[in-house]
Amino acid sequence: MLKDVSHQIIQSRLAGFDEEGIGGIFKVFVVCEDLDGVDKTEIRIDRLVNRDGKSVEEAKKEVIEREQEHLKKFKRLYVDNDQEWVYWKKEYYDLVINSFSHNEDESLEIVLNAIGVNN
């Protein structure tokens, strides 16, 4: 589909890995890391609580368990259970945005500027 249809926006946990080597695709990765590059899981959990009205326990389960389950499944399906592999390597992407230091509007502006669209 990505090779045949232009001007698509696709959200996928495996986008960077799956589209590696396919020309004409601009891949954006959104992280939530502090200034030392440490993932801020507690902020991602807090955002789910505030945005979706989930309890803290539900949000923790969703963020932490979902990530662990996805990683285990993806390793089995795509990389022969390579225990060193992760799907969120920044090298897979053309642009990495840190939502710890940029809000939604700033993040959108960064992406639009990167793809040459000024709003």
Instruction: Show me where the domains of the chain are located.
Output: 24-105
Per-residue pLDDT of the chain in tens (119 residues, 90 and over written 9)? 777 777 878 778 788 888 887 888 889 999 999 889 898 899 889 988 998 999 999 999 988 998 899 899 999 999 999 998 888 888 889 999 999 899 889 999 999 999 998 75
Kindly report the pTM of this predicted structure. 0.77
For residue 30, CA distances in Å to 51, 79, 82, 99 come to: 17, 23, 24, 7
pLDDT given at position 119? 56
pLDDT given at position 9? 80
Encode the chain in three state secondary structure: CCCCCCCCCCCCCCHHHHCCCCCCCCCEEEECECCCCCECHHHHHHHHHHHHCCCHHHHHHHHHHHHHHHHHHHHHHHCCCCCCCCCCCHHHCCEEEECCCCCHHHHHHHHHHHCCCCC
